[in-house]
Structure 1
């Protein structure tokens, strides 16, 4: 899916695209994703399933990956820090007081609520991961907001049976 329109976002160069309100069927607030996207002419969103417990959503600007959102099922005894260790862009991340989120300026991991379960993934919890690949886009506070919103989107989706 390619979107083209004007955007008044911040960043290097003009953004001549519109960020959709859902990324790979997960509700998303375009204002929360915008700080991590570079200027450019077109934005595309592509989903993939690298394995049975993982779904990836790549957001590209002018053909280059800018942001990746991942939903992944992990064992129910894991922590956000354990999950983060498996993903780039989460190094030196801070863990929130409630231990549901770990975030850095360019990456984050969040854990869905205990109510989020799937018959396809018994004894596992659903985690969300956000990675930013666009250069010069580090913003820890914006990332903290984005991962919290992404987790809310996952909890409201069909993924949480």
Structure 2
């Protein structure tokens, strides 16, 4: 039995090593799921690692709700959520809806709302198709080993990303 366990560990170690790293071997992207981003604002939100992958779509045309997941070395690290909303919906509403546990704060005159591992903004955009007046954008740093995210970096990125998303939305 010990020989089988030892053999299993020997076979598992290379797989685990493939998902670990001690420096950034990937290039910080200039787009996330089709939306251009400022790589300088994105960089502080991403960890060191070997490989970066993105999955999802985010142009406001794919559906009423959209998700883009950024993975670094086999682990989801950053997730962006977009959703068509009614008029009067605020960044703080988006943060509360996404988080739902309290601890959300408004910033930048209410343009941005944030919590310990995420930030939100809302852009005006009328859509008859989705019966909406606004589009909410939420960025969450989902895997932080229990550590608090960089709030200033999250706020700067979500505001910039929200503007980039707004430019791609099919507003009426």
Aligned to 1:21: 30
Unaligned stretches of 5+ residues in structure 1: 1-11
Does the CA contact (< 8 Å) of 2:120 and 2:137 recur in 1?
yes
CA displacement 1:97-156 (0-9 Å, x = unmatched): 5322102342011011x3x22232233310100000231461111111011101111111
Residue of 49, 53, 64 corresponding to 1:53: 64
Q: How many residues align?
A: 147
CA distance in 1, matches of 2:96, 2:75: 25
Call closer, same or farther: CA 1:96–1:65 in 2, change over 3 Å: same
Unaligned stretches of 5+ residues in structure 2: 1-20
Call closer, same or farther: CA 1:80–1:158 in 2, change over 3 Å: closer
What secondary structure is seen at the aligned counterpart in 2 of 1:98?
helix
Deviation at 1:13, TM superposition (A): 2.5
Greater C-alpha radius of gyration: 2
What secondary structure is seen at the aligned counterpart in 1 of 2:26?
coil
1:133-148 matched pairs, under 5 angstroms: 133-135=142-144, 136=147, 138-148=149-159
CA distance in 2, matches of 1:124, 1:154: 15
TM-score using structure 2 length: 0.75
TM-score using structure 1 length: 0.80
CA distance in 2, matches of 1:137, 1:42: 23
Aligned to 2:115: 104
**CA RMSD after TM alignment:** 2.4
Structure 1 residue ranges (4+ consecutive) displaced by more than 6 angstroms after TM superposition = none
Does the CA contact (< 8 Å) of 1:93 and 1:102 recur in 2?
yes
Does the CA contact (< 8 Å) of 2:126 and 2:134 recur in 1?
yes
Call closer, same or farther: CA 1:61–1:97 in 2, change over 3 Å: closer
Aligned to 1:43: 52
What secondary structure is seen at the aligned counterpart in 2 of 1:33?
helix
Aligned to 1:123: 132
